[in-house]
Amino acid sequence: MDAFENFLQKIAALDEKDRAATLIEQNKCCICGRCPTYNECMREQDELIYCIIGRSPMCSFEKKGCICPTCPVKEAIGLRKAYHCVRGSETEQRSALPVQKPS
Ligand code: SF4
Ligand code: SF4
């Protein structure tokens, strides 16, 4: 089991209040607001921690780079993926099936 799977297991064992407190902690550390892809729509919706909650539900945007690899949350919870606002949460990206090449 890797660090992210440990994080998921820990979160699942918490009660609702402690789970919310943990997410607020990660929210405070999220650096999406400094990313060139982060736009006004995302800011207005106060969207953060896409790595945990999944892609942006409301906003459309251009990919201009992703700074997830430099985020402290990456180390803290063991992320391996990036561009979570576009591609989905860490869980979603890890469970996505590989694209089949046509034969
Ligand atoms: S890894 Fe990316 S989406 Fe997750 S908290 Fe950091 S900047 Fe935000
Ligand atoms: S998930 Fe990555 S690309 Fe999207 S806003 Fe956050 S840092 Fe930028």
Residue 15 lies in a domain: no
pLDDT score, position 68: 98
Q: How far from chain centre, in Å, is Cα 22?
A: 14
Number of domain units in the chain: 1
pLDDT for the residue numbered 8: 94
Separation of CA 6 from chain center: 16
Determine the structural domain holding residue 59 and report its residue range: 3-9+31-92
Q: DSSP H helical segments within the chain, as ranges? A: 3-13, 16-29, 40-44, 50-53, 72-77, 84-87, 90-95
Q: What is the atom index within ligand 1 of the atom nearest the CA of 79?
A: 1
Q: What is the pLDDT of residues 76-98, one digit of tens each?
A: 999 999 999 999 999 999 997 66
pLDDT in tens, 23-74: 999 999 999 999 999 999 999 999 999 999 999 988 988 999 999 999 999 9
State the pLDDT at residue 61.
Answer: 83
pTM: 0.90
Amino acid 96: pLDDT: 79
Residue 22 lies in a domain: no
The pocket around ligand 1, CB under 6 angstroms, is made up of: 30-32, 48-51, 68, 71, 73-74, 79, 84
Q: What is the pLDDT of residue 58?
A: 87
What's the pLDDT at 36?
97
Quick check: is 24 in a domain?
Answer: no
